[in-house]
Amino acid sequence: MDTLHYLDGRLHLEGVDLRTVAAQYNTPCYVYSQAQLTANWQAFDQALGEHPHLICYAVKANSSLAILQQLARLGSGFDIVSGGELARVIRAGGDPAKVVFSGVGKRHDEMRAALTAGIRCFNVESSAELYRLNALAGEMGLKAPIALRVNPDVDAGTHPYISTGLKENKFGVDIDEAVSLYRQAATLAHLEIKGLACHIGSQLTSLAPFLDALQRVLTLTQALAQIGITLQHLDLGGGLGIRYRHETPPTPHDYGRALLAELAPLPYEILLEPGRAIVGNAGILLTRVEYLKQAPDKQFAIVDASMSELLRPALYDAWQEIIPVVEHATPAKTLFDIVGPVCESADFLGKQRSLSLHEGDLLAICSAGAYGYCMSSNYNSRTRPAEVMISGAQTHLITRRETLDEMLARECLIDLQPIEDAHATQPRT
């Protein structure tokens, strides 16, 4: 993260001392760098040069309105997987004509909303979806623009929970069945074939799986051309990884150069759907040490953030760097498990971290911009944290901290008659 740095032993994001953010907005708190977010998106946009392309940010990585607003201002497209994400994109000023709709379980109401908005393309993931979309578009007197999302059976070499391109995964249609499904789509009066889509997984750190999948996609385009089906675009998905610890993922420039080596002579617009690679290293999670606890075999630093705010470590056993906001003058370090207050043994943010810590210290959990706030929950009746955007020396509150009243507002007490005698409710034999 280029915009995160120490100045006189104090951690800054862009031009802001993070102690002031904690003081003003309390902790836990997500903090993002506008400059880093912008640079990351532009790196993808520039990587494809003058070749026709559209960078469609994967909204699921972080769907906060101000994040989407900044990307919309840059000219970004958006990859959505729900009607709620579409509503967020529109609320943030995104152009529906730059939206592609992926996901295996699109509901009738979500399809209607997308058709009404005039999105760019539906990435269809099953035969059943194909026929449902055709029927709905017919009812509305429209033609639905589609691409089939194919599953190329390529091992992305990533965590099994974020692998999407194997036969065993729920995503997409088997690439061997794609020609038959395209034939069917071509006969349906209310569908318009626009392209072909493929996405094989997330947090990829090698170009080889991308290029393997691309070769299979190009073989398929040739087969489609032979039956008279021409495509306008290839949606090659997202999934480029970021550096959390020791990873050395390709840069967007390397990725773009490899794609153009194969695609530059061909008449296809390129769509990419990066999410984590745009927002992941643009954000941190600020947290405060509440207690230091000595156990027989280890030391715990109990912080005010938890799996309710950042689920990735518990869900994926993910590693994220944890650093002090203030560097101590005498940095005698100890190995700590950084854990939260939630009543689960899986509630950890980092294990065996060498740190110099005191109660009350602030910590920054790095690379927390993706799959952080958007996966947060109210587990243990914890209110969700604030989100702050930093722009130069300015801070902007983009999501205020949830209050207890807001958390409880949707719930209802009901008027039930008291049960005087529990035995009276039992059926007689």
Does 423 reside within a domain?
no
Domain that residue 379 falls in: 4-30+280-408
Residue 343 known to be catalytic: yes
Asked if residues 167 and 211 have their Cβ atoms less than 8 Å apart, the reply is no
Does 397 reside within a domain?
yes
Does 144 lie in the same domain as 246? yes
Note the residue count of the chain: 429
| Selected catalytic residue, list 29, 121, 343, 374 | 343
What backbone torsions phi and psi does residue 42 show, to the nearest 5 degrees? -65, -30
Does 164 lie in the same domain as 71? yes
Residue type for position 8: D
Asked if residues 23 and 337 have their Cβ atoms less than 8 Å apart, the reply is no
Q: Kindly state the greatest CA–CA separation across the chain.
A: 81
- What is residue 374's DSSP assignment? G
Contacting residues for 150 by C-beta, under 8 A, at least 6 apart: 172, 173, 174, 175, 178, 196, 197, 198, 217, 220
Number of structural domains in the chain: 2
Does 319 lie in the same domain as 302? yes
Residue 78 and residue 56: Cα distance in Å, rounded?
4
Joined together, the tokens standing for residue 124 give 């269809």
Does 366 reside within a domain?
yes
Does 373 lie in the same domain as 239? no
Range name among 58-67, 98-107, 397-406, 419-428 with the lowest pLDDT average: 419-428
For residue 328, what is the domain's CATH number? 2.40.37.10
Residue type for position 161: Y
Give the pLDDT band (50/70/90) at residue 200.
confident
% of the chain exceeding 70 in pLDDT: 94
> Where would I find the H helices in 92-229?
108-117, 127-139, 178-187, 208-226
Does 307 lie in the same domain as 252? no
Residue 170 has pLDDT above 80, yes or no: no
Does 417 reside within a domain?
no
Residue 169 has pLDDT above 70, yes or no: no
pLDDT of residue 158: 46
Does 379 lie in the same domain as 252? no
Residue 360 and residue 363: Cα distance in Å, rounded?
10
Domain boundary among 279, 313, 333: 279
Residue 282 has pLDDT above 80, yes or no: yes
Does 426 reside within a domain?
no
Helix (H) or strand (E) holding 254: helix 252-263
Does 238 lie in the same domain as 306? no
Residue 125 and residue 178: Cα distance in Å, rounded?
10
Does 52 lie in the same domain as 13? no
Does 294 lie in the same domain as 233? no
Does 379 lie in the same domain as 231? no
Domain boundary among 279, 299, 323: 279
- How confident is the model over 215-248, as pLDDT tens digits? 999 999 999 999 999 999 999 998 899 999 988 8
pLDDT of residue 419: 75
* Region label for 214, one of left (φ > 0), alpha (ψ between -120 and 50) or beta (otherwise): alpha
Helix (H) or strand (E) holding 13: strand 10-13
Does 421 reside within a domain?
no
Does 259 lie in the same domain as 155? yes
DSSP string, 264-326: TTS--EEEE--SHHHHGGGEEEEEEEEEEEE-SS-EEEEES--TTT--HHHHH-----EEESB
- How confident is the model over 108-153, as pLDDT tens digits? 999 999 999 999 999 999 999 999 999 999 999 999 999 999 988 7
For residue 216, what is the domain's CATH number? 3.20.20.10
DSSP string, 22-82: HHHH-SSEEEEEHHHHHHHHHHHHHHTTTS-EEEEEEGGG---HHHHHHHHHHT-EEEESS
Domain boundary among 248, 279, 310: 279
Q: Is 4 exposed, middle or buried (0-12, 13-18, 19+ CB in 10 A)?
A: buried
Does 89 lie in the same domain as 217? yes
- How confident is the model over 293-340, as pLDDT tens digits? 998 889 999 999 999 999 999 998 999 999 999 998 777 789 999 999
- Mean pLDDT rounded to a whole number for the chain: 92
